[in-house]
Amino acid sequence: MKSSTESQTLTSAPFQDLVREMLIRLGEDPEREGLLRTPNRVRSAYEFLTKGYHEDPDALLKKALFTVTYDEMVIVKDVEMFSLCEHHMLPFFGKVHVAYIPNGKVIGLSKIPRLIDIFARRLQIQERLTTQIAETIQKAIDPQGVGVVIEARHLCMMMRGVEKQHSAAVTSSMLGCFRQELETRNEFLSLIHQRPNGV
């Protein structure tokens, strides 16, 4: 167990020093040519991959709410998503499908992929990511219902552990009429799995 002094030293050390220490503990030489700039590159990469911690999803959506009388299903599907598994800090990636039925307000379409990115650019588990997207939309516009489905592949399963390269995880969050009405839910699931030619 680390002493409090040792823990304070680790938390106050520059990120690059921690990466250098990791390289040494892995048996590498951080002074060799190929690794000289690795600590800086890793710091920059993780700052980008976790930038969602510094962004406000509620503020994002408030800037793009529009009053309408439209009350049919709105779907934004096949949104590419990349995130980091909080258990191993390895990537998982896939597609997100979002639908809602308005109740007087809609969200600017470009804001839905941005909302997904805010939550994906954090250490995540797929289940929580799915519910965070759905609940934030529900809170922002109080629609008749929201549905979110994520299909993703996890490198923690593909590169280590069970090493199953073709496995995928599918999660869903259904709120309001998407949970209560089978017909609405089935329409959503059918539409997100249609190919471009309508088949």
pLDDT level of residue 157 (50, 70, 90 thresholds):
confident
CATH 3.40.50.12280 fits 57-192, yes or no: no
165 is catalytic: no
97 is catalytic: no
Residue of 16, 156, 181, 187 marked catalytic: 156
Given the residues 28, 88, 135, 187, select the one marked as catalytic: 88
pTM of the model: 0.89
Residues near 168 by beta carbon (within 8 Å), at least 6 away in sequence: 94, 151, 152, 153
What is each CA distance from 178 to 100, 148, 186, 193, in whole angstroms?
A: 8, 10, 9, 16
Instruction: Assess if CATH 1.10.3470 describes domain 4-49.
Output: no
Query: How is 21-50 classified by DSSP, letter by letter?
Result: HHHHHTT--TTSGGGTTHHHHHHHHHHHHT
pLDDT tens digits along 108-133: 999 999 999 999 999 999 999 999 99
What would the mean pLDDT of 62-78 be, rounded to a whole number? 95
Reply yes or no on whether 31 is catalytic.
Answer: no
Per-position b or e across 134-166, b if 16+ CB within 10 A of its CB: bebbbebbebbbbbbbbbbbbbbbbeeeeeeee
Note if 187 is an active site residue: no
Smallest Cα–Cα separation from 98: which of 123, 82, 83, 116?
116
154 part of the active site: yes
Residue type, 4: S
Residue 10 has pLDDT above 50, yes or no: no
Which of the residues 47, 80, 86, 127 is marked catalytic?
Answer: 86
Q: Which of 132, 151, 154, 177 is catalytic?
A: 154
Our answer to whether residue 177 is catalytic in this structure is no
Catalytic, out of 47, 54, 87, 165:
87
pLDDT band at residue 50 using 50, 70 and 90 as cut-offs: very high
Domain boundaries, the chain: 4-49, 57-192
| Residue 54 appears among annotated catalytic residues | no
Between the alpha carbon of residue 62 and those of residues 38, 54, 59, 198, the distances in Å are 39, 17, 5, 34
Q: What is the pLDDT of residues 90-107, one digit of tens each?
A: 999 999 999 999 999 999
What interhelical angle do 126-141 and 111-120 show, nearest 10? 140
User: What is the Cα–Cα distance from 138 to 147, expressed in whole angstroms?
Assistant: 10
